[in-house]
Structure 1
């Protein structure tokens, strides 16, 4: 049932959002050098890696220039990128990941392999389901970049405070998961985007 929901609404979303996706793609390409999409390896269901798609919001080779953590007003973020991140429009290409079966609309957010390996036992439980575009942690940490920007050591704060809490919230989702909860989280996510 959940997979049917994902396929139906991912396809519908891509069709309905196609004009916006085209406009964003043109803006990204026209305002900074590099590709339209940012692709990154993430860990998926059953520890199977996949490439997540987002609109590129940072300069080319940003991870090589300053690591994988983005904190505060990171100078690697482009002008258009700030808007896309604030509105979460940069996440829209993940509808392709949902359609392909890499992700679901709702589920624990996919993490990069190196962080998964640090908490492998926890992720053995979390990755029994497809990771999602949104979840309980996504709503709680909507302004994660600002939180990390206020830290003197963003990497340490992420690994020792934020990520363990996200894992706990992911486990909470697994215990409570249902179509009703998924719909509730989707509606809350859309309302936060519109706010």
Structure 2
């Protein structure tokens, strides 16, 4: 069984900016969860046999083909009670992404999900102690990111690296939705 993750990822420039923030935080607090993870918005995770890849990739490709490329603006940092520190999309972008995440979850009916998410956020760090979270809050106060999301991305967990790696990308094409059934 392989572990997979379906996400929206920002452009390479934004991924690099987030990587630099993670490196700066690591200089101040040492190692932390998600330090080496590339910037992404998690939609869901699942386990599946490798021999099922063609089946679920076809489904993800169809779902992605019916979504338009969209722009995201992030303008704040925020945190969860569990010690996650993250970059938050503005209200318009957050609403749009939440709708799209729900759509992907609803339409990926043949995939048994273990984790789902409809609260878009770009994690900088996870599971920080209260003291380390306070350092992150002091270190990062202002942010403004703008980027286009052009793919639905499938990541696969690499056991040797203990990290999800980009595995396949499905372009967002904005095609009309397929209508199942017959007109006759």
Greater RCO (Cα-Cα under 8 Å, separation 6 or more): 2
Whether TM exceeds 0.5 here: the answer is no
Rg comparison, structure with higher value: 2
TM class, shorter-length: under 0.3
Taking structure 1 as the reference length, the TM-score comes to 0.25
Greater helix proportion: 1
